[in-house]
Structure 1
């Protein structure tokens, strides 16, 4: 069976790729590799979330399922206090390298969803959910998010507009009592829910 980006310990031969990408008009450099999500460049969903998410300097941010780290690196560049979490050890190592490569500060945590995330006072949680891992994994990330947000904090997720996006936005409304589409581009939407 082929490995996918939701594997904790990828065994495939590691092929590293470096590339530049612009997010919010800022040029970043990233290292990516085999057995991580969107290894050749920033995918459309991640880019939309990185460009349109609501973020402020000084905020405590959780980049859940960070992959090689484009969202967390961007948030740290903007002055947020960032925790980047992923189940994939290879992706997390690349995220740590990308933090250094871009001269920002962020903490990396090996975690299957919120398993090793003890904090309950994040201002925002940013997620491009791992849909290939299954919709139930993604729904779990939504349902468990309120326990890790402070009052007034919010969850921001990007998803395809069709089935997954509709289901996840519905789950966000059930978990938080509210959900709003804050951005849309092509097949992707960014949804936000506030913890009240």
Structure 2
């Protein structure tokens, strides 16, 4: 049991290192040696856990999107009202300048390849399915509470909510200004509320 725990910790150490390396250098520049250097282990240790760079990156994308999904779901579950759930969802997505910068630098690299690499597309689809489930929960509860438009359907509205969130975060990232993070979060909330009340 102790051996299993240590091996899982080592895997997480390597994945964390891969995330940091990708965030700082980009997908194309990162090698197994880069990941090993960031993890402060030998390349052989990385090879022990992963067959190649692609295997590390596939597991990294699963790990990253899984962590974010779980965090967002937990934040939303703590709230009782549609507006509270929406605020919690957006607050969770807008984790902070440093966290959002690191994540979106890596995530955009993956998205650029998702249309050509089926496994990335499948992992990303699972992430967006989770996002859609949260958005559907917010929408349907808000419709029951009478604060969101009854004309809206989850199939068309749920993807738009995440599109607004991701769009605002990408626009913030491109601004290069950490001080605008809160303003983009507020604009995101206002835009989603306008969408849901239309």
User: Which range, TM-score by smaller chain?
Assistant: under 0.3
Name the TM-score, length of structure 1 as normaliser: 0.27
Please state which structure has a larger fraction of its residues in strand. Answer: 1
Task: Look at both structures and tell me which one has the larger radius of gyration over its CA atoms.
Answer: 2
Please state which structure has a larger fraction of its residues in helix. Answer: 2
